[in-house]
Structure 1
């Protein structure tokens, strides 16, 4: 139980954080957990109920005497709009505060169409999805967006994104916020995938690396169960680590980058050079599944190239789990085998003693789940709840 002085600092937001574990609790239980007086607990609960963050449950809890009323977090009181925008496709979802997906949509959407065209489509799609769920914009508490390029997380603005012409420094949060009437958080697409995978499939893991191998290659880092973005939000940009002395030019302008030799776009280009009609990373995987030995060899070698970079990261960061996601992860063991082969041969035995290297469990949904997690953790932070209720 907190000390009396500490207990006085426990506001309604902190009490809501206790109830977010899904367990209904009585006033007496909350008083015991927080160290607050029963009267103060009742005041906090009344305030939370006025804003519908908390509801009285239908079931009462009995300890032998008169059953006491119990209270629980109201997961359906608000919804989050989540978008994972890739180089050529988009996935959207409407998700409640308990992380239940209420509506979902996927579409082909080239990011190089520019910010206003892309975001206008996004707003329209969100409005249609809200209507499908019987909700409206007044019930949206936040919007989360993942973009396939570097993002300055503090401002939510893309910074010199190599495959997003016209997006540099575009005020995505402000533009969307004006039209959707809710706070907007923006991050790199790999970061939100790492958040989604950790939240849903690996919540007990302290140190996790998420590698996305799609058109490009990126990395999300979870350290001490928190997303590590670095000073400006550029942490994890492993796709532009130099891995070859050849003069292959990367879309970033440098030569020899990992992405330029092992990304889905690079593999598709190699196949086209041999006269095979493929456009992107998904086509490469489909060709492999159709029995193409060349596509299978390219994917296995891409896994080895990624594994070489990851071996250095394993020695440096010592994660307990590496999760492989993105379109090329759909190749399964073909890419995983190449990655494991090099990591286990080049990393220190202590660093790989308990290391698990797995494919993403969420697949294409990792990004939208992570975008929602990013928003929910911000909106339901104790300080944010206290400010919202005070306002």
Structure 2
């Protein structure tokens, strides 16, 4: 608990509402002198700034202060199986510049992370900001990640990544904390922050090359004991009986409902479909076989989600990923199974809907992952404590943090979108 330090004042101001010193004193119970001392540190760091007072005239300084999201930058990356997106954001999670390119995760960690670093350096030049303005880096990867170390753990579609020290490699270029998580977890964070900030119990389901989910329960992202909570693509479903999955096991959901499986089914019926985009294009063109295939994939996914609804009891399921771009046909199949098989009490207020954040959910979530760590009240208070009386920062504090936190801060304090 920060107990009213500079970090706690910043947490209050991060909602974007300007406040006076008296306002902050009333909220925290601190005296005016203590408030002024803590605000002085935040002003020196540039994290808060005076704002114009509508009632003020002349040259008097404003009595109100507000969070300054432009004080620093965050680097965010959403790396999928075949594409990667890299962005610079401000401290509110607002994207300043982003790039998406086709990039195979199978190229290996060095190639992918070198591209990430090179792209970020180009973005910094474009926005005319120094690399030292980056306060943290957030990265999402398409496989299981040990969140406490940032290392991928036996990822099925990521050859060469198992146990690779992603934070240490990235910190060779950017000497700041590096937060790494599963790509679906960061999409869940991004979707919630951008569209459902008051939703404390939700599942974000990504349906693309693979199938995975991010589970938010009680306002907190659930990672489980080893960071693989939500790996639903390899749950066995009835229609996949006897079908081998690329993970080596039999009857996995992904083997029949992932985008490659749906595309393969359409090719067997004489249609040209290789990627999720091909499938979506066929559906949007009104092709009946494609519509039926996607609807059936939705039913198979719904069979799995029925179990999740019984276990987690969410009030919201958001479906994203490339195959979700086929729209209501996939959602309809999911709803059909979930609503018919789950108990009435579990589905009475359950909303199943398509992602509204779309492809940007990943980078927004990666940004939030980094921001919430970098601006945690205790960290901000520690940073403020290193300031000299004259306001200059002690250079001895410039230490690289190689170990990421074992637990994610509560999403109740997420960045205001």
Instruction: Tell whether the structures are fold-level matches, with TM greater than 0.5.
Output: yes
Question: Is the contact between residue 177 and residue 184 of structure 1 (CA under 8 Å) also seen in structure 2?
Answer: yes
* Cα distance between partner residues in 2 of 1:238 and 1:191: 12
> Does 1:201 pair with 2:195?
yes
Equivalent position of 1:276 in the other structure:
271
Structure 2's unaligned 5+ residue stretches are: 387-396, 398-417
- Pick the aligned partner of 1:175 from 169, 172, 194: 169
Q: 1:53 to 1:134 in 2, by over 3 A?
A: same
State yes or no: 1:161 paired with 2:142.
no
Partner of 2:283: 288
Contact 1:137 1:181 in 2 (8 A): no
In the alignment, does 2:367 pair up with 1:346? no
Q: 1:229 offset after TM fit, Å?
A: 0.8
Which runs of structure 2 are paired with 1:277-356 in the superposition (5 Å)? Answer: 277-356=272-351
Partner of 1:260: 255
Alpha-carbon offset, residue 60 of structure 1: 6.3
2:34 maps to 40
Structure 1: distance between partners of 2:120 and 2:203: 30
The DSSP-based 3-state class of the residue aligned with 1:166 is coil
Match of 1:371 among 366, 370, 381: 366
Query: Is the 8 Å Cα contact of residues 76 and 87 (structure 2) preserved in structure 1?
Result: yes
Residues 67/167 of structure 1: CA separation in 2 closer, same or farther (3 Å cut)? closer
TM-score, length basis structure 2: 0.89
1:90 paired with 2:84, answer yes
Q: CA deviation at 1:292?
A: 2.3
The residue number in structure 2 matching 1:55 is 49
- Assess if the C-alpha contact under 8 Å between 1:190 and 1:210 holds in 2: yes
1-structure distance, mates of 2:148, 2:87: 23
Paired position in structure 2 for 1:3? none
1:281 Cα deviation (Å)?
1.5
Deviation at 1:278, TM superposition (A): 2.5
Using the TM superposition, give the Cα deviation of residue 61 of structure 1 relative to its aligned residue in structure 2, in angstroms: 6.3
Query: What are the Cα deviations for residues 17-45 of structure 1, in whole angstroms up to 9, with x where unaligned?
Result: 11111111111111111111111111101
Deviation at 1:68, TM superposition (A): 6.2
Tell me if the contact between 1:61 and 1:68 (Cα under 8 Å) persists in the aligned partners.
no
Q: Output one character per residue of 1:251-281: Cα deviation in whole Å (capped at 9) or x when no partner.
A: 1110100011110011122223344332221
Q: What's the CA shift string for 1:91-111, capped at 9, x where partnerless?
A: 121110122211111111111
Q: Is the 8 A contact 1:60 1:70 kept in 2?
A: no
SS of the residue 1:227 aligns to: strand
Conservation of the 8 A alpha-carbon contact between 1:26 and 1:61: no
State how far apart, in whole Å, the 1-side matches of 2:331 and 2:75 are: 32
5+ residue gaps, structure 1, are: 1-5
- Deviation string 1:226-251 (CA, Å, 9 cap, x unpaired) is 11111111101110001136221111
Q: Distance between the aligned counterparts of 1:273 and 1:118, measured in 2?
A: 34
Q: Is the contact made by 2:6 and 2:377 (CA closer than 8 Å) also made in structure 1? A: yes
Aligned mates of 1:61, 1:22 — CA distance in 2: 19
**CA 1:57 to 1:279, structure 2 compared with 1: closer, same or farther past 3 Å?**
same
- In the TM superposition, residue 194 of structure 1 has moved relative to its aligned partner by 0.4
Aligned mates of 1:103, 1:24 — CA distance in 2:
27
| Contact 2:51–2:62 (8 Å) recurs in 1 | no
Q: Distance in 1 between matches of 2:152 and 2:55?
A: 51
Distance 2:264 2:140 in 1: 26
Q: How many residues are treated as equivalent by the alignment?
A: 382
Within-5 A mapping of 1:232-243:
232-243=226-237
CA gap 1:123/1:67 in 2 versus in 1, 3 angstroms: closer
| Aligned residues of 1:209 and 1:220 also touching (Cα < 8 A) | yes
Q: Which has the higher contact order (CA 8 A, sep 6+)?
A: 2
**Contact 1:146 1:188 (8 Å CA) reproduced:** yes
The answer to whether the aligner puts 1:220 opposite 2:210 as a matched pair is no
Task: Give me the whole-angstrom Cα distance separating, in 2, the residues matched to 1:94 and 1:67.
Answer: 32
**Residue 289 of structure 1, CA deviation:** 1.8
